[in-house]
Amino acid sequence: MTSRVIEIIEFTDPVCTWCWGSEPVLRKLETRFDEQIKISFVMAGLVKDITSFYDSYNDIGGDPVRSNANIAKHWLEASKRHGMPVKSEGFELFSYDHPSSYPQNIAYKAAQLQDQILADRLLRRIREASAAEAKLTNTTEVLIALASEVGLNVVRFLADLSSGSAQRAFEQDLATTAQYQAHGFPTFLVRFGKKETLLRGYQRYEDFKAVIDYLTNGTIRELPIQAGEEAIMAFIQKYASVAPIEIQMTFDLTDIELKSVVDSLLNQQMITRREAGNGYFISPKISSLSCDTATGLCTGVTS
């Protein structure tokens, strides 16, 4: 990593729809700026308790059943703009027994205490499972399954949850959120050395690019990339699960060009397509299994 790096810190919540919608932008930034950029997350806790929460614009809060219906409607409307998959059928995230999104935030902090890379993978899986799979991600059972899926040590994960270590780390994030007065999510802190600026709400790639150029006086620039099948396949392999909009935005493809490359990779049996709500995800095709006798874990080897 270069000694001069642009930092983008997202104040976020795993079930925030516009944080979900920002994923394509962040992946484009990572691809276009590579080692010149570092992206990290502060857990900001969107919904402490749905019964005492109220979003008057979308009529979300109070009764969990009504809130679930209105959240699903809001997420579908947002999906039409940001392009990430959303599943409204069966969406029942909040209930009187599980009224908060804080468990998802705390789960990320528990994972972070164990491994930063796996923590970021868990955050993405919680976002996917919440938005595109309608899973009850504020339940411990689902969070354990997702933690195991991304390769976290479940014993350590549960220990950090039960000991209060993850809770304390989350409280530190809440304090940082308050310090920067990040009241709406996503909020992005863009930092270069001692210079920093705050961007509130969903931001386009062009917005980030302009701020990066301003903060660095043009010393950090996006890298040229090729939009061929080889580069796109490498992108899919890097992230393991990508929505079509993430490919399209990163490589500046038209709808026709996106369809052409996805169809080609499917025909070559290099990728698989997984339906999800009103969209789908693309993953590398697994051609064989590799099993580690020490860990007892079998993983797919892609073509």
State the DSSP string of 225-288. Answer: ---SHHHHHHHHHHHSSB-HHHHHHHHT--HHHHHHHHHHHHHTT-EEEEEETTEEEEEEPEEE
Q: pLDDT tens digit string along 25-47?
A: 999 999 999 999 999 999 999 99
Q: What class, spelled out in words, does domain 229-302 have in CATH?
A: mainly alpha
Percent of the chain with pLDDT over 90: 90
> Coil, helix or strand for 56?
coil
Check whether 302 has a pLDDT greater than 80.
no
Give 191's Cβ-side CA count (13 Å radius).
10
6-179 under CATH 1.20.120.530, yes or no: no
Q: pLDDT tens digit string along 214-230?
A: 999 999 999 999 999 99
pTM: 0.93
Compute the distance between CA of residue 123 and CA of residue 128 in angstroms, rounded to an integer.
9
pLDDT at 1: 42
The domains of the chain are located at 6-179, 229-302
pLDDT at 2: 46
